[in-house]
Chains A and B, each alone.
Chain A
């Protein structure tokens, strides 16, 4: 198997570089995104403000390579996603990108630990030195995120509190040192204190691993904790309301 991308090297080129990207769901459907330019530097932590329905999840889907742009180039961690097949994009995502959702991040029927090392099941590169090493890394991340690995590791995800689940999700996104973390409203289910603490932890971990972070939220008040803030409404030439999801 050939590696689909070079190993992560935070210093070389932007982490994300979108140029002239348009996207619409389904053949003949109108564009929901039209972004002339959007870049995220290596290791940069960017806040992306977007109301619901502004197309932010669509944008994340494009960057993660789950969705395929109609036009333009989507370069992520030095790889031109539009030039890759769907299967290669899936592998690229498994190897290089960590994703945190709004809520229900975890497979409820898997223990927390198995959820954390799940990316390693789909990617040998993410697995690194093997599942045992990955699990050790997962326990270390959990501890750094303020959870007791011994208490949490074997519990089913559905038995954890929302706050615990989000931290487990963060550990899963960070495991295997991906070059880019995508976070889609990861704090909306948390109260204000847990939210700030969670963001601080996330930023710290991204800094430690050198990962770039794109943090999407409708809540502009969070922006001040980030290196840079962008408004999706300003990036996207399709007016809000016409964009979906």
Chain B
């Protein structure tokens, strides 16, 4: 009944007396916990950011392939479409009952390694990310004229673009393209605010512009026709790559998806972004799990360092144990003393680790949010951190039982004599 309090205060004094060793041990635990928490936060942040890539869109429709493939090329701009879909099919789906709006997307060109997305002005109103946040312009406005372009935040930052700059679109999606549509330079009319999504790495132009630069041969330098000539023409495309669909009510999504997937005149496919995103995450997430496992092992290393610190101190502390025994300490007290020391070192280390992690997150919040679209609010201290602290402390107490058991055995064998 009198065991706990005196043992805790003794353990604390004992830790204080071995300042440098204790400090280093605590630092090891703190750093390992910080690493583990950072990886965990990054995992959560990355997942949240990934799942926040697109929202407010009920269906994405493209040529029939696999859902993940369609998601990759239409939203993430990774890989190429297996096929295009015809304007007629697009119009038919767009006119289906329950469809509130559609945004066409036409891919295939690039600008210095960044994808060029042909779309309509509706894209900037309809595309949402991170829980229904709309796109915002950091500068300028959506494209108006035929050869106007809107640059994503990363594009503008990396290439140093401002509104009013002229850019040339290249054919194909590669980093280096030999065919540039240099007869038809585009003027940047707007630059988007950072989103942490592939939008940042895209250049947006109108569907008509895409059509225009390919009028005179798909792989040529563009068209030599004058702007007036072009504007007089009907530049409605025959084909697009995919389109986003918003519904009056999300309840109709399944029915429309089924209707699109069984569309008789063309092999079409509709995916629900949320479902496809979580399918994709199952692939991407495996690497994250590995990272978390590595971080967990680092925490284990930190715990083992506590074990080492206590074990190496045991021999020089046999005299202490004998004194404690002579004063009436039970072997259980000796055991508790060492377990308490291990647990205290771990507790302090883990708490410092948590504080450091969240301090760093607060400092890095603006960068994380702007460049990676990771919202710091989702990473606030919570149950997770408490569990890590409790887990690390508990594990240390468990590991501490080993040196404690040795000291217990020693104290039984030594009695009041110390046979060194």
Query: Residues of A at under 8 Å CB distance from B?
Result: 1, 25, 57-58, 60-61, 64, 66-67, 86-87, 90-91, 93-95, 97, 99, 101, 104-110, 114, 118-119, 121-124, 126, 156, 172, 184, 245
Q: Which of B178-186, B208-216, B245-253, B325-333 contacts A (4 or more CB under 8 A)?
A: B325-333
Return chain A residues, CB-CB under 8 Å to B417: 57-58, 61, 245
Q: Which of A110, A122, A156, A245 is B329 in contact with, Cβ under 8 Å? A: A122
Chain A nearest CB from B12 CB (Å) reads 10
Q: Are B419 and A245 in contact (CB under 8 A)?
A: yes
Taking a contact as CB atoms under 8 Å apart, the answer to whether B14 and A121 are in contact is no
* B19, closest chain A residue (CB): A109
10 residue pairs bridging A and B, Cβ less than 8 Å apart: A90-B330, A94-B327, A94-B329, A101-B326, A104-B323, A118-B327, A122-B2, A122-B6, A122-B330, A172-B327
With A107-B320, A109-B16 as contacts: A184 and B416 at CB distance below 8 Å? yes
B415 within 8 A of A: yes
Q: Is the CB of A122 within 8 A of B327?
A: yes
In the complex, A109 Cα to B416 Cα: how many Å? 20
- Residue pair B416, A90 in contact (C-beta under 8 Å): no
Distance in angstroms between the alpha carbons of A245 and B333 in the assembled complex? 25
Inter-subunit contact A95/B319 (CB<8 Å): no
Q: Does B132 sit at the interface, judged by CB under 8 A?
A: no
Given contact pairs A64-B416, A110-B13, A184-B416, A119 touches B328 in the complex (Cβ within 8 A): yes
B87 to chain A, nearest CB (A): 83
A191 to B33 CA separation, bound complex (whole angstroms): 53
- Distance (Å) between the CB of B420 and the closest chain A CB? 11
CA gap between A123 and B328 in the complex, in Å: 8
> B419 near A87 (CB under 8 angstroms)?
no
Q: Which residues of A contact B324 (CB under 8 A)?
A: 107, 118
CB distance from B325 to the nearest CB of A (A): 6
Q: Digit string of B330-359 for contact with A (CB within 8 Å is 1, else 0)?
A: 111100000000000000000000000000
Closest-by-CB residue of A relative to B326 is A99
Q: Is B17 an interface residue (CB 8 A)?
A: yes
Is B328 touching A109 in the complex (CB atoms < 8 A)?
no
**Shortest Cβ distance from A223 into chain B, in angstroms?**
22
With contacts A57-B417, A109-B17, A184-B416 known, is A66 near B327, CB below 8 A? no
Q: Tell me the smallest distance from the CB of A174 to a CB of chain B, in Å.
A: 13
- In whole angstroms, how far apart are the Cα atoms of A101 and B1 in the complex? 28
Complex CA gap A64/B415 in Å reads: 10
Q: Which residue of A lies closest to B328 (CB)?
A: A94
Q: Is B10 an interface residue (CB 8 A)?
A: yes
The tally of residues in B whose CB lies under 8 Å from a CB in A reads 28
A114 to B326, CA, bound (A): 16
A105 contacts B13, C-beta separation under 8 Å: no
Considering the chains assembled together, what is the distance between the CA atoms of A58 and B413 in angstroms? 11
When chains A and B are docked, how far (Å) is the Cα of A126 from the Cα of B331?
19
Complex interface residues of chain B between 1 and 60 (CB less than 8 A to chain A): 1-2, 6, 10, 13-14, 16-18
Contact partners of A124 in chain B: CB under 8 A:
2
B330 touches A66 (CB 8 A): no
Contact of A108 with B2 in the complex, beta carbons under 8 Å: no
Which 6 A-B pairs rank lowest in CB-CB distance, beginning with the nearest? A94-B328, A109-B17, A121-B6, A99-B326, A122-B328, A61-B415
Complex Cα spacing A90 to B331, Å? 9
Selected from B6, B13, B415, the residue in CB contact (under 8 A) with A66 is B415
Q: Which residues of the partner chain A approach B10 to less than 8 Å between Cβ atoms?
A: 110, 121
Q: A91-B330, A105-B323 are in contact. List 15 more A-B contacts (CB 8 A).
A: A57-B416, A86-B331, A90-B329, A101-B322, A101-B323, A101-B326, A104-B319, A109-B13, A121-B2, A123-B2, A123-B328, A126-B328, A156-B17, A245-B417, A245-B419
**B2 contacts which chain A residues (CB < 8 A)?**
121-124
> Using Cβ atoms and an 8 Å threshold, which residues of chain A touch B332?
87
Docked complex Cα distance between A57 and B333 (Å): 22
Closest-CB distance, A144 to chain B (whole angstroms): 21
Q: Which chain A residues lie closer than 8 Å to B331 at the CB level? A: 86, 90
| Beta-carbon nearest neighbor of A92 in chain B | B328
Could you tell me if B415 and A67 are in contact, using CB atoms closer than 8 angstroms?
yes
- A124–B17 Cα distance when bound, in Å, is 27
Q: Which residue of B lies closest to A111 (CB)?
A: B13
- Which residues of chain B come closer than 8 Å to A66, judged between CB atoms? 325-326, 415-416
For B333, the chain A residues whose CB sits under 8 A away are 122
- Residues on B with C-beta less than 8 A from A64 are 326, 416
- Give B402-418 as 1s and 0s: 1 = Cβ < 8 Å from A's Cβ atoms: 00000000000101110
A129 to chain B, nearest CB (A): 15
CA of A109 to CA of B320, assembled, Å? 10
A101 to B321, CA, bound (A): 13
Q: How far is the CA of A122 from the CA of B332 in the complex (A)?
A: 12
Which residues of the other chain, A, contact B1 by a CB distance below 8 angstroms? Answer: 1
Q: Are B319 and A99 in contact (CB under 8 A)?
A: no
Whether the Cβ atoms of B325 and A106 lie closer than 8 Å is no
